[in-house]
Chain A
Amino acid sequence: MKVAVCVKEVPDPAAPRKIDASTLRLDRSGEGALNPWDLPAVEAALRLVEEHGGEVVCVSVAPERAAATQRKALAMGADRAVLVADEAIAGSDLVATSRVLAEALRREGADLVLFGQQGADSDGAVLWAAVADRLRLPLMSQAAGLEVSGGTARVKRQTEHGYEVIEAPLPCVVAVSDAINEPRYPSLKGIMGAKKKPQETLSLADLGLDAGGVGEAGSGTAVYALGPPPPRGDSLVVEDDGQAAERILEFLVERKLA
Chain B
Amino acid sequence: MNLDLPEQHELLRRTVRELAGERIAPVAEELDREHRFPYEIVSALAELGLMGVPIPEEYGGAGADTLAYAIAIEELTRIDSSVGVTVAAHTSLGTMPIYLFGSEEQRHRWLPDLASGRRLAAFGLTEPEAGSDAGATRTAATLENGEWVIDGAKMFITNAGTEITALVTITARTGPDEISNLVVENGTPGYEISPPLSKLGWRASDTRALTFSGCRVPEGNLLGPRGNGLRQFLEILDGGRISIAAMGLGLAQGAYEQAMAYARERHQFGRPIASFQAIRFKLADMATEIEAGRQLVYRAAWLKDRGRSFALAAAMAKLYTGELSRRVVNEAVQIHGGYGYMDETPISRFYRDQKILEIGEGTNEIQRLVIARHLGLP
Give the size category of A's interface with B: 10 to 19
Report yes or no: A185 in contact with B11, Cβ–Cβ below 8 A: no
Q: Once bound together, how far apart are the Cα atoms of A194 and B18, in whole Å?
A: 18
Task: Determine whether B49 belongs to the interface, using a CB cutoff of 8 Å to chain A.
Answer: yes
Q: Which of B8, B14, B18, B48 has the most CB of A within 10 A?
A: B8
Given contacts A185-B19, A189-B57, contact A194 B49 (CB under 8 A): no
Contacting residues, chain A, for B63 (C-beta < 8 A): 189, 192
- On whether the beta carbons of A186 and B7 are closer than 8 Å, the reply is no
Is the beta-carbon distance between B57 and A191 smaller than 8 angstroms? no
**A200 smallest CB distance to B (angstroms):** 18
Judge whether A192 and B64 touch: CB under 8 Å: yes
Q: Are B18 and A191 within 8 A (Cβ)? A: no
Instruction: Give the segment of A67-75, A106-114, A246-254 that binds chain B.
Output: A67-75
Known: A185-B18, A188-B53. A195 touches B12 (CB 8 A): no
Contact with B64, one of A72, A186, A188, A195 (Cβ below 8 angstroms): A188
A188: chain B residues within 8 A (beta carbon) = 12, 48-50, 53, 62, 64, 68, 72
Q: Does A187 contact B (CB under 8 A)?
A: yes
Kindly list chain B residues whose C-beta atoms are within 8 Å of the C-beta of A68.
7
Residues of A within 8 A of B53 (CB): 188
Chain B contacts for A194, CB-based, 8 A? 8, 11
B15 interfacial contact with A, CB 8 Å: yes
Q: B365 an interface residue at 8 Å Cβ cutoff?
A: no
Given contacts A185-B18, A188-B64, contact A71 B49 (CB under 8 A): no
Contact A195 B48 (CB under 8 A): no
Contact B7–A71 (Cβ < 8 Å): yes
A189: chain B residues within 8 A (beta carbon): 49, 57, 62-63
Give the CA-CA distance A192 to B63 in the complex, in Å. 9
| Cα distance, A67 to B72, chains bound together (Å) | 24
Task: Contact check, B8 vs A185: say whether CB atoms are below 8 A apart.
Answer: no
Q: Is B47 an interface residue, CB under 8 A from the partner?
A: yes
Taking the closest CB of chain B, its distance from the CB of A20, in whole angstroms, is 25
Residue of B11, B53, B64 most packed against chain A (CB within 10 A) = B11
Contacts of B68 in A (CB 8 A): 188, 192
Residues of B within 8 A of A72 (CB): 11, 14
Closest CB-CB distance, A50 to chain B, in whole Å? 15
In whole angstroms, what is the CA distance A191 to B65 when docked? 12
Q: Which of A148-194 contact B (CB under 8 A)?
A: 185-189, 191-192, 194
- Interface contact B49-A187, CB-CB below 8 Å: yes
Contact A191 B47 (CB under 8 A): no
Top 9 nearest A-B pairs by Cβ distance?
A188-B49, A188-B62, A187-B48, A187-B49, A191-B11, A191-B12, A189-B49, A191-B8, A185-B19
Q: List 23 A-B contacts (CB under 8 A).
A: A68-B7, A71-B7, A72-B14, A75-B11, A185-B15, A185-B18, A187-B47, A187-B48, A187-B49, A188-B12, A188-B48, A188-B50, A188-B62, A189-B49, A189-B57, A191-B8, A191-B12, A192-B8, A192-B68, A194-B8, A194-B11, A195-B7, A195-B8
Given A189-B57, A192-B64, A192-B68: 16 more A-B contacts, CB < 8 Å: A72-B11, A185-B18, A187-B49, A187-B62, A188-B48, A188-B49, A188-B50, A188-B53, A188-B62, A188-B68, A191-B8, A191-B11, A192-B62, A192-B63, A194-B11, A195-B7
Chain A: residues with CB nearer than 8 A to chain B?
68, 71-72, 75, 185-189, 191-192, 194-195
